Amino acid sequence: MTAIVTGSTDNTGYYKNEGTAENIQIELRDDQDATLKNGDSKTVIVDEITRNAQFPLKARAITVNGNASQGTIEALINVIYIWQ
């Protein structure tokens, strides 16, 4: 099974913060600490017995250029699953 991640990005290539905090980006990583940017994909094996697939992901707020301000952090990251 493959998951493709998409979402709005800023000029740094990271996901854009739609909240009120300035100079903040959102970084999405997989369980092997690989960064998943807009349009990236990850493929995992489906368990033949349970027919389950797991995509452990984690997100964190970062500042690429510094000077982050306080405020809210919001982002929408879409995941498209492809079963093959």
The domain locations on the chain are 2-82
Distance CA 61, CA 43 (A): 25
Return mean pLDDT, the chain.
Answer: 96
Give the distance from CA 55 to its chain's centroid: 11
Per-residue pLDDT at 36 exceeds 90: yes
What is the predicted pLDDT for the residue at 81? Answer: 95
* 62-83 tens-digit pLDDT: 999 999 999 999 999 999 999 8
SS3 state at 57: strand
**Residues facing residue 9 across a β-bridge:** 15
Architecture per CATH, 2-82: Sandwich (2.60)
